[in-house]
Amino acid sequence: MKPAKILLPLFLSLLLMLPAWGVIFAGEAQQQLSSESVIETIKKRGKLMVGMSTFVPWAMRNKQGELIGFEIDVAKKVAEDMGVEIEFVPTQWSGIIPALIAGKFDVIIGGMSVTPQRNLTINFTAPYAHSGMGIAASKKLAGDYAWPEGFNRSDVIFVCRRGVTPCTDEVAKRWPKAKIRQFDDDTMAFQEVVNGNAHATLSSHPKPVSWTYRYPDALYMPTTENLSRGDEAFGIRKGDPDAMNFFSNWIMVNTSNGWLEKRHHYWFKTMDWADQVDQK
Amino acid sequence: MPQSRRRNRWTWLDLVLLMGMLGFLSFIAYRVNTVLIYQWDWAFLPGYLFRWEEETGRLLPNLLIKGLLTTLRLAVWSIVLAAVIGFLMGMMRTSKRLFPRAFSRLYVELIRNVPPIVFIFVFYFFISSQIIPWLGLDTLDQHLNPTSRALVEWLFGPASLLSNTFSGIFCLALFEGAYMTEIVRSGIQSIPRGQSEAGMSLGLSRWQQMRYVILPQALQRVIPPLASQFIILIKDSSIVSLISIQELTFLSLEVANSTQRVFEVWVFVAGLYFILCYSCALIFQRLERRLNSSARTLT
């Protein structure tokens, strides 16, 4: 056998293992990240890097193109209390956990609710907010449905934002026969219900209220009660007790002194901020 | 070969077809409002293109224009990088030696046979997380002095987003480079063997044959498919919004979600992409004509 004939498969198989090398190196990088607490990294860098995703009114862009919202206030205060600058890393919601693990930012402050499944991959601090989830339904398709048992039919379609487990879990629990379709953004999910292509959507307040207010002919709220209570917390990489302790205690202190409650009230219970983003 | 100019004369059939198409399109546009319950409102858009800064009294680019600029930079740099990769790998594909041939073949097949989204995710999380710190791009913005910062920012956009932009550039260039490799290879292989044999008989080395005989002819042949690949690259740059590169698609989604005016933003951004791609097509059309006419004067 000519050497070339052996070399080629050997070479090809070695190169095919490239992705595996990538994984190994990525694993090493992850270990390096956790060998030192992220708190030290932040202080050394002089900058807190926060992963977040646009989600009204947690985080959104005002008319100047700057980020505003409840969690933006929270993250800014964290950085201020640490004495460092802040940098927001806007990230697609579906890729936000891998991005944290890959070290693209230090912490997720993104209105992420704690779920056991997510907790297997990343760590959560104490909760800094409790969102209530509401429902908005299509008047045309589901206007005469009895609440809540009328929605448990196989031809009923619920829409959720992709990766929002409180939505999908809640639908599966309450209306096991209904179908679920997922969109990348909340806005698309609501639009689908407004257009009469889906029966209802579940989303954290105040969105169901504000959309129903905007499209009174197309949407209604079968109930004004909260369907579930979410516990939103900061997400950090595993194996970092210092960061866990710092962020959890920051949340505890600012819960006790009422600061979190006050900001939460401003963003979720009032619409005083609406003219900053040109929303109607 | 002289081409006779086709005359553009309208016949009644053209007129009927055009009217029919216009009628169909306006019917669709009219029907949109019956299936889509939506309050159109375009008034907010100009504000997200440019913003007025009170303190300095200047007009500054806002999110959508910033995104457009990032997409432009992303496109220009990845086109340059992808063309370099394409030509290198394309020449390696036609090499007589085994190693370059096997290497470039592997590159092309690995990338061409994997869905773009999967490739982008794998590349971003496994590979670019290592390349970027290795090249020192993640901390570059701290080492820049004011003049070099201004230059870097003009070339690559905001310094704080450098590593983000570069991930996007590498990702797109590697991805599109595979297709360009194949285009360049087909161009090189379409040149008759007699050409390189003639070069050899003149005593040219293999590299000289490539440089003076093969490539000039191949280049002219691959311009049309390369141009369409460049346009595809510009459009594909929207895929990197999935790994949160702050380009036009990503920022327009941010605006759409913040203002909850999805359709206005999408329609407008589609228009922006069209203008971008169409002007690219026009530039290449001109280049092609220039190359053709200069080739004719030579022969």
pLDDT digits (tens, 9 = 90+) for B140-189: 777 778 888 888 888 888 877 888 888 889 999 999 999 999 999 999 99
Nearest to B244 among A99, A188, A215 (CB): A99
Contact A65 B51 (CB under 8 A): yes
- Cβ <8 Å between B122 and A11: no
Beta-strand relationship, A200-204 and A157-161? parallel
- State how far the Cα of B44 lies from the Cα of B48, in Å rounded to an integer: 7
Distances (CA, A) of B266 to A182, A215, B43, B255, B257: 19, 21, 15, 10, 11
3-state secondary structure A90-130: ECCHHHHHHHHHCCCCCEECCCCECCHHHHHHCEEEEEEEC
pLDDT of residue A24: 54
Interchain contact, A63 vs B47, CB within 8 Å? yes
Q: Give the residue among A142, A141, A280 at the shortest CA–CA distance from A211.
A: A280
Rounded to a whole number of angstroms, the distance from the CA of B196 to the nearest CA of chain A is: 26
Residue A102 to residue B125, Cβ atoms within 8 A = yes
Cis status of the peptide bond prior to A148, with omega within 30 of 0: yes
pLDDT at B298: 52
Average the pLDDT over each of B10-24, B52-66, B108-122 and give the range with the smallest value.
Answer: B52-66
- What mean pLDDT comes out for the span A152-158? 91
For residue A4, what pLDDT band results from cuts at 50, 70 and 90? Answer: low
Structure tokens at B120: 């982008």
Question: pLDDT tens digits for A46-57?
Answer: 999 999 998 888
As a whole number, mean pLDDT of residues A23-36 equals 57
SS3 A192: helix
Nearest-neighbour CA in chain B from A2: distance (Å): 12
Q: Which residues pair with A59 in a beta bridge?
A: A55
Cβ-based burial of A230 (10 A; exposed 0-12, middle 13-18, buried ≥19): buried
pLDDT in tens, A184-207: 888 889 989 998 899 999 988 888
CB contact under 8 A, A278 and B242: no
Rg (CA), chain A: 22
Given a cut of 70, is residue A32 above it in pLDDT? no
Any chain B CB within 8 A of the CB of A63? yes
Q: What pLDDT, on a 0 to 100 scale, did the predictor assign at position B67?
A: 92
Q: Which residues of A touch B256 (CB under 8 A)?
A: 185, 187
Q: Residue B58: what pLDDT? A: 83
pLDDT score recorded for residue B92: 93
Question: How much is the pLDDT for B1?
Answer: 44
**pLDDT tens profile A77-125:** 999 999 999 999 999 888 899 999 988 899 999 989 898 889 999 999 9
**B294 or A82, greater pLDDT:** A82
Give the closest of A87, A92, A98 to B125, CB-based: A98
Report how far residue A86's alpha carbon sits from residue A106's, in angstroms, rounded to the nearest whole number: 11
Cis status of the peptide bond prior to A3, with omega within 30 of 0: no
Instruction: Tell me which of A61, A164, A194 to substitute to probe the interface with B (most B C-beta atoms closer than 10 Å).
Output: A61
> In this complex, do A191 and B258 lie within 8 Å of one another by their Cβ atoms?
no
Residues of B in contact with A15 (CB under 8 A): 103, 106
Instruction: Name beta bridge partners: A87.
Output: A49
Partner residue facing A92 (CB), from B66, B106, B242: B242
Q: Is residue A270 exposed (0-12), middle (13-18) or buried (19+ Cβ within 10 Å)?
A: exposed
The mean pLDDT of chain B is 87
Mean pLDDT of A31-57: 84
Q: Which residues, including other chains, have CB under 8 Å from residue B148's CB and lie 6 or more apart?
A: none
For the stretch B48-71, pLDDT in tens is 888 887 788 788 888 999 999 999
Give per-residue pLDDT as tens, B271-282. 999 999 999 999
Question: If you measure CA to CA, which chain B residue comes closest to A8?
Answer: B102
Query: Which residue from A99, A191, A277 is facing B259, i.e. has the nearest CB?
Result: A277
Q: Report how far residue A65's alpha carbon sits from residue B48's, in angstroms, rounded to the nearest whole number.
A: 7
Q: What is the per-residue pLDDT for B24?
A: 94
**If you ran DSSP here, which 8-state letter would residue A276 be given?**
G
> With an 8 Å Cβ cutoff, is A213 touching chain B?
no
Residue B239 or residue A277, greater confidence: B239
Average pLDDT, chain A: 85
Percent of chain A past pLDDT 70, that is, above it, reads 86
Q: B103: nearest CA in chain A?
A: A12
Query: Under a CB-based contact definition with an 8 Å cutoff, are residues B79 and B231 in contact?
Result: no
Residue of chain B nearest A12, judged by CA positions: B106
What pLDDT, on the 0 to 100 scale, is given for residue A10?
59
Residue of B nearest to A274 (CA): B259
Do A212 and A117 form a contact (C-beta atoms < 8 A)? Answer: no
Q: Please give the pLDDT value at position B136.
A: 78
User: How large is the angle between the packed helices A3-16 and A18-35, nearest 10 degrees?
Assistant: 40
Contact B258 A194 (CB under 8 A): no
Q: Kind and range of the H or E element at B274?
A: helix B262-298
CB count, 10 Å around CB of B140? 18
Assess whether the previous peptide bond of A57 is cis (omega < 30° from 0).
yes
Nearest to A232, CA basis, from A113, A57, A125? A113
Helix (H, G, I), strand (E, B) or coil at A252: helix
Task: Find chain A residues with C-beta within 8 A of B41's C-beta.
Answer: 280
Residue appearing with tokens 């090249």: B135
Quick check: B257 and A186 CB within 8 A?
yes
| Residue B124 DSSP code | I
Q: What is the mean pLDDT of residues A165-188?
A: 88
